[in-house]
Amino acid sequence: MNTLEHKKLESRNAWMGAALALAAGLTLAPSAIALPESGLASSSASSILVAQALTSTTGTVIDADPREDTVRLRLSDGSIRMFSLSAQEQHQLGLDRGAEVMLTMSGNRIITMTRLISSAPETSTTATVVDADPREDTVRLRLADGSIRMFSLAAQKQSQLGLAPGAEVMLTMSGDRIVTMMRMVSVQPAEQVEATIVELNPRLDRIRVRLADGSIRLLSLSVQDQARLGLRNGSAVTLSTRGNRIETMTSNNQVATVTDPGQS
């Protein structure tokens, strides 16, 4: 057997040994596999990758640090591990302390992380605003059971809802989490009251009326509406009121909206 044939035989034996080792379930580093010598192989040598099996487990967030791009988890086996996770990804997953996550891992490396959302049934309750702090994006509420809780709510949403101390809100909750918040506004039924025109001032679109209780109210009503209602000093009119606010005036089967300067 010449030298060339001997080297080819050694190379073939090395590849067979590597194949048998992989079949037996051993993990081999690429350097442990004898590759054919350069110039003797009919094709170029390629690296051999040994992949680890993927495993799944659950974990609980102990703390998350967006400044350091790290998160510490307590895994289902009780071990505590720290992983690298960008602040943006932490925000997207909503990784607060106590959050439950599902991990897909390859060895010690996380491949995917999924936030587990509690499937607690949604409940509705009412609450009263204790105080709202737009600078800190927080609001404290007294719930229907008497407990006081603080929630995170952006200043813009606080303004949109008109959240001031004493405001009543309706909450839809899932566990301890607020799903929706709606401001409750009391609506008083409209009442009809009789009044008499005391003074007309077309130039200023103003009129004065005397209510049944003797009080005098100044109202804004355009000169066009004054003419359409056929108003004169002493005319009897019907006012639609809601609480202490006068909303409309009716006369001669005509209705006009009025502005109550004292209530604007």
Closest CA to 212 of 229, 228, 188, 196: 196
State the average pLDDT over residues 133-146.
88
Domain shared by 161 and 222, yes or no: no
Assign residue 245 the CATH number of its domain: 2.40.50.100
At 17 the pLDDT is 42
Domain shared by 65 and 40, yes or no: no
Closest CA to 103 of 69, 68, 71: 71
Is 159 exposed, middle or buried (CB count within 10 Å of its CB: 0-12, 13-18, 19+)?
A: exposed
Domain shared by 110 and 128, yes or no: no
pTM (global) more than 0.75: no
At 262 the pLDDT is 60
Contacts of 76 (CB under 8 A, 6+ apart): 57, 58, 59
Domain shared by 164 and 149, yes or no: yes
Domain shared by 94 and 153, yes or no: no
In angstroms, the CA 118 to CA 85 distance is 22
Model confidence pLDDT, tens digit, residues 196-220? 999 998 788 899 999 989 999 999 9
Domain shared by 195 and 258, yes or no: yes
At 176 the pLDDT is 72
At 186 the pLDDT is 67
Give the percent of the chain with pLDDT over 90: 20
State the average pLDDT over residues 8-22.
41
For residue 93, the 8-state DSSP code is H
Q: Which of 82, 99, 116 is a domain's end point?
A: 116
Domain shared by 226 and 248, yes or no: yes
Assign residue 101 the CATH number of its domain: 2.40.50.140
Model confidence pLDDT, tens digit, residues 33-73? 222 333 333 334 444 445 567 888 888 899 988 888 889 99
Domain shared by 136 and 173, yes or no: yes
Q: What total number of domains does the chain contain?
A: 4
- Which string of b and e fits 171-186 if b means at least 16 CB within 10 Å? bebeeeebeebeeeee
For 102, the domain range is 54-116
Mean pLDDT of the chain: 77
At 44 the pLDDT is 41
| 195 band by pLDDT with thresholds 50, 70 and 90 | very high
In angstroms, the CA 149 to CA 128 distance is 11
Model confidence pLDDT, tens digit, residues 178-194? 778 888 876 677 889 99
Q: Which of 116, 136, 155 is a domain's end point?
A: 116
Give the percent of the chain with pLDDT over 70: 77
* pLDDT > 50? residue 170: yes
| 169 band by pLDDT with thresholds 50, 70 and 90 | very high
Domain shared by 132 and 109, yes or no: no
Check: CB of residue 97 under 8 Å from CB of residue 104: no
Q: Which of 184, 219, 235 is a domain's end point?
A: 184
For residue 259, the 8-state DSSP code is B
At 177 the pLDDT is 73
